[in-house]
Structure formats: structure tokens, C-alpha cells
Amino acid sequence: MALFPTYVKREMVPAKGEGNVLIDEQGKRYLDFTSGLGVCNLGHCHPRVTAALTEQASCLWHVSNLFPIPIQQRVAERLTQATGMGAAFFCNSGAEANEAAIKLVRKAAQEKRGITNPEILTFKGSFHGRTLATLTATGQEKVKTGFSPLPAGFVTIAPEMEAVREATHEQTAAVMLELVQGEGGVCPIDPTFLQELVLFCHERGLLLVVDEIQTGMGRTGTLFAAQQYGLHPDVMTVAKGLGNGLPVGAMLARAELKEHFGVGSHGTTFGGNPLVMAAANAVLEELEQESLLGQVREMGEYLCSLLQERIGEHPAVTQIRGMGLMIGIQLLQEAGPIITSCEKEGLLVLPAGPNVIRLLPPLLVTKEEVKVAVTTLAHVLTRQMSTPQVG
Ligand SMILES: Cc1ncc(COP(=O)(O)O)c(C=O)c1O
């Protein structure tokens, strides 16, 4: 295979996507509880997004950011109105959105507070991307191995106030965090810690950057998870579900920070082009329906309670946790073999670290599909336990 072996490839070869189902080359159907790593939140080939894309594709794909792009303006307005933010910068991925956030908070710290070597605090277990800056920000050693020298200006600490207070000094510019650590095992933040952290940031003039790349776009039952915590961050990053499969990310910031990203301070060739913006606009139109987000909350609760009922007492399961339709099943054993067996049974699920099965079904998942998925998981787990281990 003429590819870098950066991924262990699965067996099934997806050939077609239909809503909440993926179909392989042999025509076998799989219930997709991965949504492509939390991307196709509206399911595969969603009619509204497909129609918007098809129309845009026959009209204009790309112009550079040197020209006004009305659809980009519209998406920026939709996102800023929904979040109370003042401005958006569009890019192509989550890591790029976080890069933009890092650049913005560094520049703001220098220009506003005279900080010459700004430092950003991040948390153990977090994941912020694979570029050099974002992997340095990430609180997981495995993504950093072999990539020294890493850029300066990041300190990773435990998510505890004592650690935050200890790590903060006059060069500290910002705190960056996920509200539910996704890649780190689907771990929701402690609301008391978050409350204290917000107050602390306010007192010390630190900017709060919330990475909503995995939690955003309806995944947790509100458009952004921050809304459920009553949180108004200074900077918010979005990607994954924003384009429902088209590569697009966004960095949103409060109006006061707009001046720090002036002409020439940041840029992108592809970011926010008409084609991806047509997809993002259609996605946002769809998610603006409150009934859809209500359905996410309802299905999330149903999925969690059914999991609890069917596998909560299973000896291999230690915890079922999450928010909305972002759910983690903590196991005492490796998640890999369970995930492979589920795939054979027609259910696609994800890992989040070595011992966690992560469920990220499409937001339009039905009760019937939830029942099928939980039954498959329960069946696979029971069979795995009763199969004698070799070696
Ligand atoms: C919370 C979070 N931040 C950033 C990223 C990086 O996004 P991308 O892979 O689009 O660069 C991810 C990807 O999984 C993520 O979950």
C-alpha cells in the first residue's frame, strides 16, 4: 500500500453511506456509531447538505479569501449569533482551528498585557491535534514521542485548581480545555472545577479557550457543550461536525479579540471556501431546529440507560459515562477485540484510549438503532467473556 502506515486499517471497506448506515463493497450494511470520528453528525449524505453542496458545486467551488464570500459571512453570522462570539476565522481542520486559537491568544497577550513569552495551560488527558503546537498542547505523551524539539509555551497540568494556581505566573496567557475529553476516554469535566477555573481566569486576566471540536455541533445535546455549563469562553474552536464530512474548522472569539487578528496576521488558502461553507451553512440550518437537539438529549439518555441496563453489571464494564450522544464505556480489558467483534456483527464503534469503547452515533439515530447497537454490544461482551483466553 502506497500509504504511510499511520493507521491500523479496519477490515471493512466502506463503499456507500446512507444516513446512519455504512455499506461495504459486498453490500453488507453496518450501523455506524462512529460518524467518521464524530464528523457526519447528520448521517451520511444528508439530503439538505447534499442538496446545498450539489447546488454550490455547479456554481462556484473556490475563490480565495481575497474576495468577499457571502456564504462564508452567513456561516460566520450563524456561528457567532449562536455562541455570543464576535468573530470567526475559517480553516480546514480541528488542529488548524486550535493553531489559530493559540496564535490569537499569544498575540492578544502580547498586545494587551505586554507578555513577551506567553504560556498556555492545558490538561492531562486532553487532545488538541497533531500539528507541532497542538500536539504540544495535548495532554498525552504518546502523540509527542519522537517529535522533539517541541515548541515552548505550553504547560500541561492535572485538572485541579491547586495545579492551576501553582502553574500560573505573570507570563500565563490562557487556559485551553475540552469540556468532555474525547480522545482521552470520553471524560466530562468536573463542573465545580470548571466554575472555579472560570472565576480564576477572570481574576487573573487569563483567556479561556474551549476546544469544542468533538463536543460541538450538537454532539452533546446542545449546539455547543459550553451552553450546558453556562460558559462563555473567550475563544472556541469548532471542526468535525461543522461540514458533516467536508474538511472545515473555525476559530471563534469574543469581539474584544478581533483587533488582534488584523490584516496579514493569519491566513489560509482553502479555509472557508464557498463549497465547504455551503455544507456548513446547511448543517447549521439543520441544527438550528431545537427539536433536533432535543432528540439528541433524549436519545443520549435512552442510549445511556439501555447500556446501563444491559451491560452496566457486566464484569468487564466499570463505567458508562458521557454527554448527549458522546458516550464512553470504560472496560477492564482492551477495547480493540470488542470493537473488531462488533464490526463483524455489523456495528461500527470507536476506541478512546486502550480500554474505552466510544459511541458517537449520528445525531438522528433512532430508538430502534440504539436497541440494535446495545444488543450487539451486550452479545459481543458476553461472548468475549465466555470464550477461553488463549496463551
Ligand atoms: C477535541 C479535539 N481537538 C482537536 C482535534 C483535532 O482535529 P483534526 O483531526 O481535525 O485536526 C480533535 C480530533 O479528534 C479533537 O477531538
Cβ-contact 37, 240 below 8 angstroms: yes
pLDDT score of 234: 98
Judged against a pLDDT cut of 90, whether residue 15 lies above it is answered with: yes
Assign 202 to helix, strand or coil. Answer: helix
Question: What architecture is domain 61-287?
Answer: 3-Layer(aba) Sandwich (3.40)
pLDDT digits (tens, 9 = 90+) for 326-348: 999 999 999 999 999 999 999 99
Orientation of helix 274-287 relative to helix 47-57, angle to 10°:
160
pLDDT score of 22: 98
pLDDT digits (tens, 9 = 90+) for 147-198: 999 999 999 999 999 999 999 999 999 999 999 999 999 999 999 999 999 9
Percent of the chain at pLDDT exceeding 90: 97
Does ligand 1 have an atom closer than 6 angstroms to the CB of 126? no
Count the helices and strands in the chain (H runs, E runs): 11, 17
- Counting from 1 in the atom list of ligand 1, the atom nearest the Cα of 212 is 1
Cell numbers describing residue 164: 492551576
Judged against a pLDDT cut of 70, whether residue 388 lies above it is answered with: no
Q: Residue holding cell 460566520? A: 76
- Counting from 1 in the atom list of ligand 1, the atom nearest the Cα of 134 is 4
| Cα(136) to centroid(ligand 1), Å | 13
Cβ-contact 217, 242 below 8 angstroms: yes
Where residue 385 falls among pLDDT bands split at 50, 70, 90? confident
pLDDT digits (tens, 9 = 90+) for 261-283: 999 999 999 999 999 999 999 99
| Cα(88) to centroid(ligand 1), Å | 18
Does ligand 1 have an atom closer than 6 angstroms to the CB of 178? yes
- Tell me 359's DSSP state: E
Does ligand 1 have an atom closer than 6 angstroms to the CB of 185? no
DSSP string, 154-170: EEEE-SSHHHHHHH--T
pLDDT digits (tens, 9 = 90+) for 296-326: 999 999 999 999 999 999 999 999 999 999 9
Mean pLDDT of 200-210: 98
Average pLDDT, the chain: 97
Judged against a pLDDT cut of 60, whether residue 390 lies above it is answered with: no
Q: Residue holding cell 468535525? A: 240
Cβ-contact 376, 346 below 8 angstroms: yes
Cβ-contact 362, 32 below 8 angstroms: yes
Does ligand 1 have an atom closer than 6 angstroms to the CB of 211? yes
Cell numbers describing residue 204: 487573573
Mean pLDDT of 49-55: 98
Judged against a pLDDT cut of 70, whether residue 74 lies above it is answered with: yes
pLDDT digits (tens, 9 = 90+) for 118-138: 999 999 999 999 999 999 999
Does ligand 1 have an atom closer than 6 angstroms to the CB of 34? no
Closest CA to 164 of 124, 129, 116: 124
Where residue 391 falls among pLDDT bands split at 50, 70, 90? very low
Does ligand 1 have an atom closer than 6 angstroms to the CB of 358? no
- What kind of fold does domain 290-329+342-386 have according to CATH? Aspartate Aminotransferase, domain 1 (3.90.1150)
- Counting from 1 in the atom list of ligand 1, the atom nearest the Cα of 181 is 1
| Cα(358) to centroid(ligand 1), Å | 15
Q: Would you kindly state where each structural domain of the chain is located, as residue ranges?
A: 61-287, 290-329+342-386
pLDDT score of 289: 86
- C-alpha 146, offset from chain centre: 25
